[in-house]
Amino acid sequence: MVTAGDFKNGVTIEFEGNIYQIIEFQHVKPGKGAAFVRCKLKNIKSGGVVEKTFRPTEKFENAHIERKGYTYLYADDFYHFMDPETYEQLDLSADVIGDSLKFVKENEEVKLVSHNGEVFSVEPPISVELEVTETEPADKGNTATNVTKPCIVETGARIMVPAFVNTGDKLKIDTRTGEYVSRV
């Protein structure tokens, strides 16, 4: 159990049947009246952010979030993952996956995030190396400014890259932002 007076950034709690992570909190002691805690809570499953106010003595259950490494195998009607320790396979539907695998190739390691055994999201590696499969040819002399152009990488994801990138180049991509980092 954790009280509102003990809130810290990053703590996960169960509140109103959902799991929230505390993004921001502030202890307020007004001149008149009782103290209170104002905080921003992010719903872990839906991603929505709400602002709530609590008395410092209110108690909440700690929510234990588990992150476990799995190997992404392939996708058909479902997305298939394998536990590298036990070799057990797990199938997830597209609504659980969302956009999280758009930069992940088959047989790469990902983290499945769960609460009470229910997987609710997939965390790809922070950066990946992918080959450019389609882009416009580079323009000569267009390297002095930050000119970007669209390209498609081997997983089918579309990103913006500098003008000097060509088809066949290997790129390092930040999966959190979906942005080009460097050539490999």
**Superfamily of chain region 127-183:** Nucleic acid-binding proteins (2.40.50.140)
pLDDT > 70? residue 109:
yes
- pTM score: 0.74
Read off the amino acid at residue 29.
Answer: K
Q: How far is CA 66 from CA 63, 116, 120, 123, 130, in A?
A: 10, 8, 11, 12, 28
Q: Which fold has domain 2-62?
A: SH3 type barrels. (2.30.30)
The CA-based dihedral angle spanning residues 127, 131, 133, 136, taken in that order and rounded to the nearest 10 degrees: 80
Confidence band (pLDDT; 50, 70, 90) for 142?
low
Confidence band (pLDDT; 50, 70, 90) for 5?
confident
- Whether 127-183 and 66-123 are alike in CATH topology: the answer is yes
Name the CATH code of domain 66-123 (choices 2.40.50.140, 3.40.50.800, 3.40.50.2000, 2.40.160.10).
2.40.50.140
